[in-house]
Amino acid sequence: MERLTLGNSDIEVTRFCLGTWNMGGGRGWGPEDADAAVGIIQHALDQGCNFIDTARVYGRGKSEQTVGRALAGRRDQAIIATKMMQCKPEEVSGNIDASLECLRTEYVDLYICHWPSPSLPLEPFFEEMIRHKDAGKIRAIGVSNFNRQQMQVALNYGVVSLQPPLSILWRIPEDLLTFCRESNVAVTPYSPLAQGLLTGRYTRQKTEKLGGPRDSNRLFSEEIFAHSLEVATHVDRIADRLGCTSAQVALAWLLQTPGVTSVIVGASSISQFDQNIGALDVELSEEDYKLLDEAGRAVWDRLGPEATMWEWKPT
């Protein structure tokens, strides 16, 4: 599997990153049990995927524990990314140490600020992160859900990656993508399939909207859902013409988006993971890419540039 350098770091990551939010337990939308989750992670490694993403808040440490269990004896094969919410500087050390314990490792390759807190200054937080980087507990620092202004601050502290929600349906401001490209900050999108909207589930199978995090997802809201499905239908038609799955088309679109280094994709089974990485063999024409870009942007314009996917931001 192809690898790219993660921004300004010396870390090389595969173009697919296995996301483990659904391995934190609860919500009824992940693997059936921890053993199945471990099997998916180990299978991903076997297929050449070296990038694993988790977070402190995924199951209150359960996801990190699952990743740590799966990587026992195979730590050198994986690039681990985990996240903490921005907190007071004196709380950073406890969060990092808790992650290391759950992950059964002495260092994290990429430690990400999960969400910035408007009530806290960023500088003291990053200064504390730098201290732990210098101590060898972190190889590189990343951020998630940061806007353009916050990214400028983060760049002053050597941040190498931005993890935003990004898909055909959900966008981030173009100036933010441009800033990352020009600053050599890796973009590693999450929710690339819009929580199932771009997989054909709702257009081909007529499945009712599922519960869990989709309940508050703006793309599933009453005023947006029908427009989301129109875009999904475009994805389906291209998939039929190319002889691949709708999910593979949606992922291929992101992989062909300038500035995107690695796409974070969850999987509830080994077969689903294998289908997803099939996107690496799908190449969209310029015409197809543009069609999907314009159709998805029309939905995004209905949401507005300050929208958050689940209508939540930290205070």
Q: What is the pLDDT of residues 112-129, one digit of tens each?
A: 999 999 999 999 999 999
Q: Which range marks the domain in which residue 181 is found?
A: 3-196+255-283
Identify the three-state secondary structure at position 154: helix
pLDDT at 210 over 70: no
Predicted TM-score (pTM) of this structure = 0.94
CA–CA distance, 268 with 159 (Å, rounded to integer): 31
- Among the listed ranges 27-31, 144-148, 227-231, which one has the minimum average pLDDT value? 27-31
Domain contains 64 = yes
pLDDT given for residue 287 in this prediction: 98
Nearest residue to 34 via CA among 42, 21, 25: 25
pLDDT at 26 over 70: no
pLDDT given for residue 291 in this prediction: 98
Confidence of residue 209 (pLDDT cuts 50, 70, 90): low
Is the CB of residue 236 less than 8 Å from the CB of residue 214? no
Domain contains 304 = no
pLDDT at 44 over 90: yes
The residues, ordered by sequence, that sit 6+ positions from 193 with a Cβ below 8 Å of its Cβ are: 167, 199, 247, 250, 251, 265
pLDDT at 79 over 60: yes
Question: Residues 165-178: pLDDT tens digits?
Answer: 999 999 999 999 99
Q: Work out the average pLDDT over 272-292.
A: 97
CA–CA distance, 246 with 204 (Å, rounded to integer): 10
Is the CB of residue 20 less than 8 Å from the CB of residue 52? yes
The per-residue DSSP string of 75-90 comes to GGG-EEEEEE----HH
- The residues that are catalytic are 58
Domain contains 25 = yes
**CA atoms within 13 A of residue 192's CA, in its CB half-sphere:** 32
pLDDT given for residue 240 in this prediction: 98
The alpha helices in the chain, defined as continuous H runs, are 34-46, 62-70, 89-103, 122-134, 148-155, 174-182, 225-242, 246-255, 270-277, 286-303
pLDDT at 247 over 60: yes
CA–CA distance, 46 with 60 (Å, rounded to integer): 27
Is the CB of residue 13 less than 8 Å from the CB of residue 261? yes
pLDDT at 78 over 90: yes
pLDDT at 315 over 90: no
| Partner residues linked to 112 by β-bridges | 83, 142
Domain contains 100 = yes
What are the Cα distances from residue 250, in Å, to 117, 237, 272? 31, 12, 15
Domain contains 236 = no
pLDDT given for residue 2 in this prediction: 94
pLDDT given for residue 25 in this prediction: 77
Radius of gyration of the chain (CA): 19
pLDDT given for residue 162 in this prediction: 98
Q: Work out the average pLDDT over 208-224.
A: 77
**Residue percentage of the chain with pLDDT more than 70:** 96
pLDDT given for residue 288 in this prediction: 98
Q: Work out the average pLDDT over 296-301.
A: 95
CA–CA distance, 85 with 301 (Å, rounded to integer): 28
Is the CB of residue 268 less than 8 Å from the CB of residue 29? yes
pLDDT given for residue 211 in this prediction: 62
Is the CB of residue 131 less than 8 Å from the CB of residue 102? no
CA–CA distance, 40 with 266 (Å, rounded to integer): 10
pLDDT given for residue 99 in this prediction: 97
Domain contains 39 = yes
The CATH number of residue 164's host domain is: 3.20.20.100
The residue to which tokens 């690339």 are assigned: 192
**Number of domains, the chain:** 1
Domain contains 273 = yes
Q: Work out the average pLDDT over 185-208.
A: 90
- Among the listed ranges 12-26, 45-59, 92-106, which one has the minimum average pLDDT value? 12-26
Domain contains 49 = yes
Mean pLDDT estimate for the chain = 93
